[in-house]
Chains A and B, each alone.
Chain A
Amino acid sequence: MPAMNLQDLQSIREANRHRVEFTRNTCLMLCGGTGCRSTGSLEIKEALQKEITTRGIQDSVDVVETGCNGFCARGPILVVQPHDIFYHNLTLQDIPELVQEQLVNNTPLQRLQYKDPVSKQILPRQQDIPFFAHQLPWVLRNRGIIDPESIDQYIARDGYFAAARALLEMTPGDILQQMHKSGLRGRGGAGFPVHLKWKYASEEKSPVKYVVCNADEGDPGAFMDRSILEANPHSVLEGMLIAARTVNAGHGFIYCRTEYPLALERVQTAIDRAREYGLLGSDILGSGFQFDLEIYQGAGAFVCGEETALMRSIEGGRGMPRPRPPFPAQKGLWDRPTVLNNVETLANVPLIILEGGDWYAGVGTEHSKGTKVFALSGDVRNIGLVEVPMGTSLCSIIYDIGGGIPGKRKFKAVQLGGPSGGCVPAEYLDLPVDYEAISRAGAIMGSGGMIVMDQRTCMVDMARFFMDFVQEESCGKCTPCREGTMRILEILDRIRAGDGVIQDLWELEDLSATIRDSSLCGLGQTAPNPVLSTLKYFPKEYEDHIRNKKCPAKKCTALVKFRVNADKCTSCGLCHKNCPSGAVHWKKKQPAEIDPQKCIKCMLCLDNCMFDAID
């Protein structure tokens, strides 16, 4: 296909508008995100198509596979458009009935619809479900609306019109000005102002410059970037194109981990389509500007997400960070000026260019503008992908959107920013999502991982989990991180085993402070955060482990006595049934008893006791 101009772009938008406004056919928007695929959405798609064909309605019904809908906990998910009817937890068996009722008889199939857990009322429309109602989908603006593999549908949603404006109407200075006004800050962790990074790179005099998209996303519990790439890949491409135009870069890389096969596939398709349309390559939209990009598959080390390690990895070296300065904007890939931004950061860019920086800055707090995508996970009802305005309180995210903690358990803390972040306890639940406010609380905004923890979480154990993670992911280059994290881990292990002494707590603080101050890259500098924040908010829990040799959350097996509390025991016998080593003696109407000789501390009795009767 020949390279196109603005008019061509406009005609594509018009020709495809009906597809995204659902003005012709009924559209079955089936989630094809990684989550729903794992629960069978691909088979369901086939079944839907088969049922539709058998009923002869294929001409008026389209089945569209979309990116992640967000409500992953309820997958597979189907939304019927234009009526916005939401179905969840679909199984293959449901499909014939669903097609018959919804599409032939035009009556919604109630048993597959969303029931509000509190009012027990059915909420048929997606937009009424609280999970969605409190969100502000900007970056995720196309979710559930377009087929991520269709560039036409992206264009129909004004896709590439921001790039067209940047290329045809705006000077790099104009773009920088809008970016400045928008107040957009990096979503990859550090929150560095985007316009500054771009400005520095644009001021460098070099015939060769690069734009790199960081899609390494290695922190446990994070899947924001993956979902964006899967659901809306062109928005990232368009963001990169605009960045390239601003700094005058000719080539770009998307650094994505191999563990994201679907994202890789969708991005590659997007690149291929964009090239066919002449939206990548030479003389884009007749502007004379040239830019192309390629995917670089990373081997999946967490540290490769660090910008200098990432660039080293693209250069073919071992992903190890190097000291800055020089910063990537001055000397990045192959020592050339390089703009390096996170996936979500880049996906925000088209919106800013289309709607204007002032408009964008209309949402958010004083220093944190726009929206932020979070991957909500852990002990929360509605695990999924959410996008909220900056300034939204943690409470609102966890309770209004997340639906709170399942069961009768109590909220304990929420971990923000993964292994580099910290935990925020219940007292701080009204903390707004804002870079500075979260830092003050001892956590970091991070890339958007949000792990909710209920009372069963042991904070020492949690700190250990992340310390173990960073210790294994430390690239090994600098001494404090390589060996210091191992020493912290040792102390945590000691405490968890009941061998801790109170001096260990000072040692932990000392070690943490020194590692933070002396490590080479962000990984080591932030590695102590989980320890420091748990020490800050849950000192008593550490002391309990040390002084009383008790783990209040009953997680640290060495400290759990596995004794039945006769006062609480109702003699139900569940512990007896579940014990794999026959250590529980139980007779009807008598409290159970655990034989410490036989007990292997597998925790099964504890997990199964409904009356919290095991210490």
Chain B
Amino acid sequence: MGKQVKLRIDGQEVQAPAGMNLIDAAELAGIHIPNLCYLRGMKGIGACRMCLVEVEGLKAPIIACNTKVKQDMAVHTRTERVQEIRRFVVDLILSMHPLDCVTCTKSGVCNLQEYAYEFGLKESSFSRKKFTYPVDEGNPFVKRDPAYCILCGRCVRVCKEQGTNVLDFMGRGIESKVITANDMPLHESGCTFCGSCIDVCPVSALREADREKKGREWEFSRHESVCMLCGCGCDITVSTKGDLIQKINAGSRSPSTEQHFICTYGRFGYEHVDGGKRILSPMVRKGGQLQEVSMKDALEDLAGRLKKAGKNTGFISTASILNEDAMTLQRFSGEVVKTSNIDSTASLYARPEQLEKSQKAKLDKADLIILVGVNPSQWTRVLPALDVAVRRRLSRKGRLITINSQETALDKLAEINLNGDEIQAVQGMIKSVPDHGIKVDQKLLKHVQEASTDKNMQQAAEMFAGSSNPLIISDPAFFDVASNLAWIKGQAMAMPLESNARGVVLMGVKSKDNTFQDMAAVEHGLVQRGRSTVKLLYAVGDVPLSKKPDGVDFLVVQSSSFTGLAREADMVLPAATYLESSGSMVDYLGQLKTVEQAIEPRGESKTHRDIFVQLAKNMGATLKKPTFSEVKKAAGTEVILSVADMSRKEAFQETPESYLQALNAPVLETSRLLWLKESGMT
């Protein structure tokens, strides 16, 4: 690791890390080696033959996608011989390809078009040959149009590697094609509609079902942002035209290609911003009815109420708001309203210390992943991107241990499943670690003296001892005990269900006095019972509750959609969605990521922070929005682990599945994702 190799590519001296392939190494030097089947992060399969290059001393051209850099290698990427081959390959492909560039929506970003242009191939020199295959458009997400397919195999490979495994090659020779199992339409073949295949298709054979209506690639503005719909916090690239989102693709900012994935929520849920449940203006309850009022009136009214309620005010927020909103909220509540009643939904499933003590890690550096009590799954749509990241990691390097009292989707891929009680399993593992040549501090061992170990635990301990960079991802309920493993080596983190749980807590939105449960009168899970501890309850974001808690005199709901709670509110304030705000967030691995605004806030909606600043003004105080460096400082808090409690913590009564559905209800109900529910696919 870390060793650098020097080589020459087209006469230019290039330094590249040992083990890197020639395509990536050339890219470092700004040299593009043409390719159609290569996928960064995966092994080169040598299918398209576009990347053939010549290496001095070798008789035949070799493929750059599967050749590693070597010291003093001299590579030529544009010799007559390889250019001739490339031209030949493009020529062959074009002879069987609809030359529709004039109307094709891939035009402008199409790899085939790019190379045809490079070789000046207006059309193929071979006679046209075409097969007519039916277009698969039985679902509102992904359209398969095999006429355009150039058989690069990228879609087959991403889908396979991420574990959905819906696509494969069929047939031989010229009759080869990509099909689903039994050649059924996607919606009958186990497809999750993640659209990963769309992102990798070099041509127009796989596209968003409504892609045609959305405009040409060069008309779009692109925004690098983050999906805030679940704890994975995936990078997204939002394409807009006018003030409309036209499509969302997986972003590619994260350094690890394992994480270049978004699920169907992240890709297609954006329609909710203009959906039927959107709150476009402030409303106040008058005579039992919510009625529209002006923003000015609403905020003036609310300022007065907040002043009066003071300490009797409580703020509850979701853990999906941005850092900047969270920090402003924290300042507003403490400095302006002067109440210590503040908390977020993260409290429902994690204690603040757990999120604060979660470490930073790089997934693509992990050689062993240990999942404790978490069960990510693309099919139940619980933390799907984590499921994918783990699967990809395993198919590249890396091994897996699952520790879970229940069966998990990833068990089959794990080398070891410890499926008894999680706490005992981890304790047993820790106890066995010293048997495998790793020193463990007595302070820690003392705590596990009583633990019993079995063969599985010992094997897991051995694997842990042998790994150099283990990554422990734990359900918050078991984080304390699991973090002890990371005290020995590696990194541990509590896996949140919401995108910015770590950030929200780091920004100070965490209970100091009354908890979320106290204020929302939540007994267990999301069931509301009993009395709230506050008089004025201020809910920030789409808080997944459905009832105004007993004891609350005045309920403010500041959200973007008409949630169950908003319906019961005394005042509703329209909030911008994450697609309409800019700022930052902290993902589950502890990375601080920026969120770029893609579209203007709809109607009169404003970002949470703007609303708080205005309220503060109305209350006669000045509230400053945090700067990025303030946020960065708060997010970068150094984590020092110590021996942590070995006992079980109160677990969340809600299943992750139902919680995420409740949280995303507005998105699921007011976008094409509704189709999933209507056709029984959720």
Contacts and interface: CB of A to CB of B under 8 A. Distances in A.
Interface of A: 301, 303, 318, 320, 322-323, 325, 471-480, 482-487, 490, 514, 517-520
B557 to A, nearest CB: 53
B127 A490 contact: yes
A301 B173 CA distance: 12
Most buried by B among A322, A473, A476: A476
Interface string B99-130: 00000000000000000000000000011010
A301 B153 CA distance: 20
B46 A478 contact: yes
Given A323-B66, A487-B92, A514-B84, A482 B169 contact: no
A518 B85 contact: yes
Interface string B77-88: 000010011001
B47 interface: yes
B95 A483 contact: yes
Contact of A476 (B60, B61, B92, B151): B151
Given A490-B127, A520-B47, A476 B89 contact: no
A201 B95 CA distance: 44
A441 B60 CA distance: 21
B63 to A, nearest CB: 6
Most buried by B among A303, A475, A486, A518: A518
6 contacts: A301-B172, A473-B173, A476-B174, A479-B47, A514-B84, A520-B49
Nearest to A489: B174
Given A480-B89, A480-B92, A520-B49, 8 more contacts: A322-B46, A323-B45, A471-B174, A472-B172, A474-B176, A477-B47, A483-B96, A518-B89
Interface in B277-328: none
A478 B171 contact: no
Contacts of A485: 173
Nearest to A322: B45
Given A323-B66, A490-B127, A518-B49, A476 B172 contact: yes
B153 A318 contact: no
B44 interface: yes
Contacts of A483: 92-93, 95-96, 174
B61 A518 contact: yes
B169 A473 contact: no
A613 B571 CA distance: 105
B52 interface: yes
Nearest to B81: A517
A472 B81 CA distance: 28
Interface string B146-178: 000011010000000000000011011111100
A471 B176 CA distance: 11
B60 A517 contact: yes
5 pairs of A and B residues whose beta carbons are closest in the complex: A476-B176, A323-B46, A483-B92, A474-B173, A518-B85
Contacts of B613: none
A490 to B, nearest CB: 7
B615 interface: no
B153 A471 contact: no
Most buried by A among B44, B47, B151: B47
A326 to B, nearest CB: 10
B171 A476 contact: yes
Given A472-B173, A483-B95, A514 B88 contact: yes
Interface of B: 44-49, 52, 60-61, 63, 66, 81, 84-85, 88-89, 92-93, 95-96, 126-127, 129, 150-151, 153, 168-169, 171-176
B168 A480 contact: no
Contact of A320 (B63, B126, B129, B169): B169
Nearest to A524: B49
A534 to B, nearest CB: 21
Most buried by B among A322, A487, A519, A520: A487
A476 B88 contact: no
A416 to B, nearest CB: 23
B20 to A, nearest CB: 15
B126 A487 contact: yes
Contacts of B151: 476-477, 479, 482
A98 B48 CA distance: 64
A495 to B, nearest CB: 15
A177 to B, nearest CB: 31
B49 A482 contact: no
A517 B172 contact: no
Given A318-B168, A518-B85, A518-B88, A482 B46 contact: no
B93 A473 contact: no
Contacts of A318: 168-169
A159 to B, nearest CB: 40
Contacts of A479: 47-49, 89, 92-93, 150-151
A433 B245 CA distance: 70
Nearest to A484: B92
Given A320-B169, A518-B61, A482 B153 contact: no
A323 to B, nearest CB: 4
Contacts of B129: 486
Contacts of B168: 318
Contacts of B92: 479-480, 483-484, 487
Contacts of B95: 483, 487
Contacts of A475: 172, 176
A140 to B, nearest CB: 34
Contacts of A323: 44-46, 63, 66
A473 B173 CA distance: 6
Nearest to B65: A323
A486 B173 CA distance: 8
B49 A473 contact: no
Contacts of A484: 88, 92
A518 B171 CA distance: 22
Nearest to B82: A518
B391 to A, nearest CB: 17
B514 to A, nearest CB: 56
Given A514-B85, A517-B85, A518-B49, A482 B173 contact: yes
A320 B150 CA distance: 17
Nearest to B92: A483
A477 B61 contact: no
Contacts of B60: 517
A482 B89 CA distance: 10
Contacts of A478: 46-49
A519 B153 CA distance: 16
Contacts of B171: 476
Contacts of A301: 172
Contacts of A519: 49
A479 B44 CA distance: 15
A333 B96 CA distance: 35
A147 B94 CA distance: 58
A525 B401 CA distance: 44
A514 B83 CA distance: 11
B173 A471 contact: yes
A517 B59 CA distance: 10
A461 B326 CA distance: 78
B174 A486 contact: yes
A322 B37 CA distance: 13
B47 to A, nearest CB: 5
A522 B171 CA distance: 19
A208 B172 CA distance: 33
A128 to B, nearest CB: 48
Nearest to A302: B172
A485 B153 CA distance: 20
Nearest to A475: B172
Contacts of B85: 480, 514, 517-518
Contacts of A514: 84-85, 88
Contacts of B61: 517-518
B173 A476 contact: yes
Contacts of B150: 479
Nearest to A519: B49
Most buried by B among A473, A480, A485: A480
A115 B63 CA distance: 59
